[in-house]
Structure 1
């Protein structure tokens, strides 16, 4: 079971999932002050251009490190980055992948997360190595779990004290999606 060794460009409803580019540093800098994104991702809290470029370089290195595919979510009309989504393959030898996503605060509420998750999910479920995609969402994050459900993910349960978020252990809803049976 092989996975693509190069980052694809994936096209969806008004979005393009593409490799990160240096010009995306401004968008990364805008989310540094978000109250959640830097706590659950590697987005730097400093908001400096150099730290944003270091974040972008980490995203570019994910595939070479065999940890996954990190995509910039870009507006299809302008190619301007508005967020990030990844397919993480640490357990791919078991057929398991996971995903997570974020949208810059000023870009939320117009369906980009749903469009990005939909296109990523369709692509990933088409890979022979992927038998299951998992997704974890904080119970209070209604927009995120509605996005998952709109893309066909099913809630499997509540994982108590699942993830460290800042100084606290947080519960997470567990979601998954499986390829359609033939």
Structure 2
């Protein structure tokens, strides 16, 4: 497999969110996310509120673009970072990419995840090699399942024992979205 090309994280304006590169001032969003075990168990967000670890996490988001495995966007609404959404390109050579996202606990239930997912999905089709987007969601995460379906993703099945989370294997529901014809 060829090395990943260097990519640049653009600014993408959606109907109610802006997807943009992370900034140093987004540390408060990382602190908020650090307090949520549902986020820290499945992402690289540090599981302690620590300014140094938060700054390192933000720096790693920029490295993802500079080393090529994907785009990591801050989700901005009303001039503040409310979460993160990523487009991961590890399988781009197969025509597919995976999306993952989180919304900080204090900013949930306001439509940010839906708007970010819809915005990123529409933008992703500008990548010519891409034909399929997919999401993996824990079955118990009903809000994320509804968000995926509302954004046009179709539930395709249950992946049993798909992912290690902490000390246990967890099932994941796979959702797919195919490039419009």
Q: TM-score, normalised by structure 1?
A: 0.94
Q: Find the aligned partners of 1:57 and 1:39 in 2 and give their Cα distance.
A: 20
Corresponding position: 1:165 with 2:141 = no
Equivalences for 1:1-182 in 2 at 5 Å?
5-75=7-77, 77-78=78-79, 80-181=80-181
CA shift for structure 1 position 66: 1.1
List per-residue Cα deviations over 1:159-181 (Å, max 9, x = no partner): 00000111111100001101111
Secondary structure at 1:128's aligned position in 2?
Answer: coil
Tell me whether 23-32 or 48-57 shows the greater mean CA deviation: 23-32
| Structure 2 alignment gaps of length 5 or more | none
List per-residue Cα deviations over 1:80-114 (Å, max 9, x = no partner): 10100000000111111000000000000010000
Q: Find the aligned partners of 2:7 and 2:70 in 1 and give their Cα distance.
A: 10
Q: After the TM superposition, which parts of structure 1 deviate over 3 Å for at least 4 consecutive aligned residues?
A: none
Tell me whether 147-156 or 2-11 shows the greater mean CA deviation: 2-11
Number of equivalenced pairs: 178
Q: Find the aligned partners of 1:47 and 1:69 in 2 and give their Cα distance.
A: 24
Contact 2:69 2:90 in 1 (8 A): yes
